[in-house]
């Protein structure tokens, strides 16, 4: 029985939530292994739309045990707001498990995130301002507060005091903000302790035992490959490991337990925040993709930057992640476009690059080399078999598969939960 990692291949918002939900009916556990509430996954069930930010998508499927792994940074206010909202809509959230080793986002993390972005001005990264980066920075600097610390008041106070010692100097002397007291952070975190306690455990052991027992476990990435702290478009990236390697480190299971790696690729490309984006469109085509695809951030509401599909980054992600399968999403958004460009390589100062350029400087100067494919006008939202697609839509999918380095095993053709074509079984 497999451990399956689901990763985003572009800059996020590819539809990982839909793919996770597709697998969830045959899955015992769904694990979020990185990130925090800086990314949103939207899942449509019937007439109901669910926007998840911190919780694993599997929480919407009865019988699935959702897990927040040790690689996640947890904003407790957001966690309980999401749980309350789901409970009010009749969703059972009682099975949620949270790693005792996951780190906590505090108010000072959120404050530092926002003031730092403003201070950077035109050099800002384009963060969501939700404290993700500062929380991960504290984790690496060994100043972080973990979930387990909330259950020992003495340790919790010591850790808050240690973290605030340097941060208050920065807030008051660099950013001209007021100092934050230990008591206000302590009191804020303590209000969640009783609710949190039953959810917390050794999730690494629980997942190991589940895999040993032959149960299916899906590992769900937050963000995507091109936002990875090591392999993304640094420094315009997130602060965690978004690749399949992060699934093991961020959940506490052995890499050998991951049997399949599913990459999620949008039929075109989008990005939120600053940073290079070779296929970005600043014309009516970009507006059309944004409008037809409803490309506005689930978490922030910000309009997404839009562009044509980029097979260079898909090949890159296929190699780094070891993709075994691709789920292609939002193919229906391209309906009605007469000629559809696809980026197959880059031009950097007259030199052709079929793979990712080595340096950040080269990538900033990369211009897409396109091949154009004929489009289709037929409505494809009702297609449930590959043969149901128009001939040109089939050719578009095959072209992306040929240039992407991995087989396309499923195709999203609409927002509805069942609007998907399964070409190959993912479990």
250 assigned to a ligand binding site: no
User: Helices 311-321 and 391-404, interaxial angle, to 10°?
Assistant: 50
287 assigned to a ligand binding site: no
142 assigned to a ligand binding site: yes
14 assigned to a ligand binding site: yes
Asked if residue 250 lies in contact with residue 72, where contact means CB atoms within 8 angstroms, the answer is yes
Q: Which residues are catalytic?
A: 13, 41, 139
Distance CA 188, CA 193 (A): 10
297 assigned to a ligand binding site: no
223 assigned to a ligand binding site: yes
Could you tell me if residue 129 is left (phi over 0), alpha (psi between -120 and 50 degrees) or otherwise beta?
left
332 assigned to a ligand binding site: yes
Q: Give just the sign of the alpha carbon dihedral 15, 19, 25, 30.
A: negative
Q: Give just the sign of the alpha carbon dihedral 189, 191, 192, 197.
A: positive
135 assigned to a ligand binding site: no
372 assigned to a ligand binding site: no
40 assigned to a ligand binding site: yes
392 assigned to a ligand binding site: no
Host H or E run for residue 360? helix 360-364
Going from the C-alpha of 94 to that of each of 59, 198, 203, the distances in angstroms are 9, 9, 15
128 assigned to a ligand binding site: yes
Asked if residue 375 lies in contact with residue 337, where contact means CB atoms within 8 angstroms, the answer is yes
Asked if residue 180 lies in contact with residue 167, where contact means CB atoms within 8 angstroms, the answer is yes
Distance CA 4, CA 257 (A): 9
414 assigned to a ligand binding site: yes
List all residues 6 or more positions away from 26 whose beta carbon is below 8 Å from its beta carbon.
216, 427
Annotated binding site for substrate: 298-304
Annotated binding site for Mg(2+): 13, 40
Annotated binding site: 12-18, 38-42, 128, 142, 223, 238, 298-304, 330-332, 412-414
Annotated binding site for GTP: 12-18, 40-42, 304, 330-332, 412-414
């Amino acid at each position: 029985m497999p451990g399956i990692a689901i990763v985003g291949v572009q800059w996020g918002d590819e539809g990982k939530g839909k793919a996770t939900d597709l697998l969830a009916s045959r899955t015992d556990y769904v694990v979020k292994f990185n990130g925090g509430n800086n990314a949103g996954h939207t899942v449509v069930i019937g007439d109901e739309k669910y926007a998840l930010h911190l919780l694993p998508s599997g929480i919407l499927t009865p019988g699935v045990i959702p897990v927040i792994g040790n690689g996640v940074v947890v904003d407790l206010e957001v966690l309980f707001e999401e749980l309350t909202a789901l409970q009010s809509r009749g969703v059972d959230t009682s099975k949620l498990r949270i790693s005792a080793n996951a780190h906590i986002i505090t108010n000072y993390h959120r404050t530092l995130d926002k003031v730092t972005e403003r201070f950077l001005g035109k050099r800002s990264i384009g963060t969501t301002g939700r404290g993700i980066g500062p929380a991960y920075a504290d984790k690496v600097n060994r100043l972080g507060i973990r979930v387990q610390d909330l259950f020992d008041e003495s340790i919790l106070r010591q850790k808050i005091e240690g973290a605030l010692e340097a941060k208050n100097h920065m807030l008051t002397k660099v950013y001209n903000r007021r100092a934050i007291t230990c008591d206000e952070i302590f009191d804020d975190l303590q209000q969640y302790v009783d609710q949190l306690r039953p959810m917390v455990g050794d999730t690494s052991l629980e997942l190991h035992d589940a895999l040993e027992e032959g149960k299916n476990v899906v590992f769900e990435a937050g963000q995507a490959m091109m936002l990875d702290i090591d392999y993304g478009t640094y420094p315009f990236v997130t602060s965690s490991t978004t690749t399949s390697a992060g699934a093991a480190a961020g959940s506490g299971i052995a890499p050998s337990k991951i049997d399949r790696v599913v990459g999620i690729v949008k039929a075109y490309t989008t990005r939120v925040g600053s940073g290079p984006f070779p296929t970005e469109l600043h014309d009516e085509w970009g507006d059309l993709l944004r409008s037809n695809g409803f490309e506005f951030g689930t978490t922030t509401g910000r309009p997404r930057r839009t562009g044509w599909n980029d097979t260079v980054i898909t090949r890159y992600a296929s190699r780094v992640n070891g993709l075994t399968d691709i789920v292609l999403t939002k193919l229906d958004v391209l309906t009605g476009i007469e000629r559809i460009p696809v980026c197959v390589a880059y031009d950097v100062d007259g030199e052709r690059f079929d793979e990712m350029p080595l340096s950040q400087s080269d990538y900033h100067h990369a211009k897409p080399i396109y091949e154009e494919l004929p489009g289709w006008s037929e409505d494809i939202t009702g297609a449930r078999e590959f043969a149901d697609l128009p001939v040109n839509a089939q050719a578009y999918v095959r072209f992306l598969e040929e240039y992407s380095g991995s087989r396309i095993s499923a195709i999203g053709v609409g927002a509805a939960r069942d609007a998907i074509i399964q070409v190959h079984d993912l479990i």
